Amino acid sequence: MTINFDGRVFRSISNSDGGDVDEDTTFHYHQQVDLVWATYSGGSVRLGTLIAKLGGDGRLDMRYQHVGADGAFKSGRCQSRAELLPDGRLRLHEQWRWTDGADGEGDSVVEEIRT
């Protein structure tokens, strides 16, 4: 499946305990060839950025960082697999883990929203 993330907007629909992203967090994605990046904010995240490489299998290998509403810096790694929904939107199934500022790991799902 060839995926173009450029201009897509996502919102969290589920997350494991210990994750900061929630239903009030919105992600704005961009893409150039196999390089994907996004900014995100909302809920318990003041501002975050992520950068990823898109693999030939459609998976994203990403690193993320953000400043929480409490002012704390956090960063981590995430592997994301895209699912194409019947209406053409994308749903991303993610496995993440903190690397700095917090401990733990989990699973989350973010889904494209129409703007």
The pLDDT value given to residue 25: 97
pLDDT digits (tens, 9 = 90+) for 54-107: 998 889 999 999 999 999 999 999 999 999 999 999 999 999 999 999 999 999
Provide φ and ψ at 51, rounded to 5°: -135, 140
Q: Does the domain made of 9-113 have the CATH classification 3.90.650.10?
A: no
The pLDDT value given to residue 115: 77
pTM of the complete model: 0.94
**Domain locations in the chain as residue ranges:** 9-113
The pLDDT value given to residue 57: 86
The pLDDT value given to residue 1: 61
DSSP 8-state code for residue 58: S
Q: Is the dihedral of CA 24, 21, 30, 33 positive or negative?
A: negative
The pLDDT value given to residue 60: 97
pLDDT digits (tens, 9 = 90+) for 20-65: 999 999 999 999 999 999 999 999 999 999 999 999 888 999 999 9
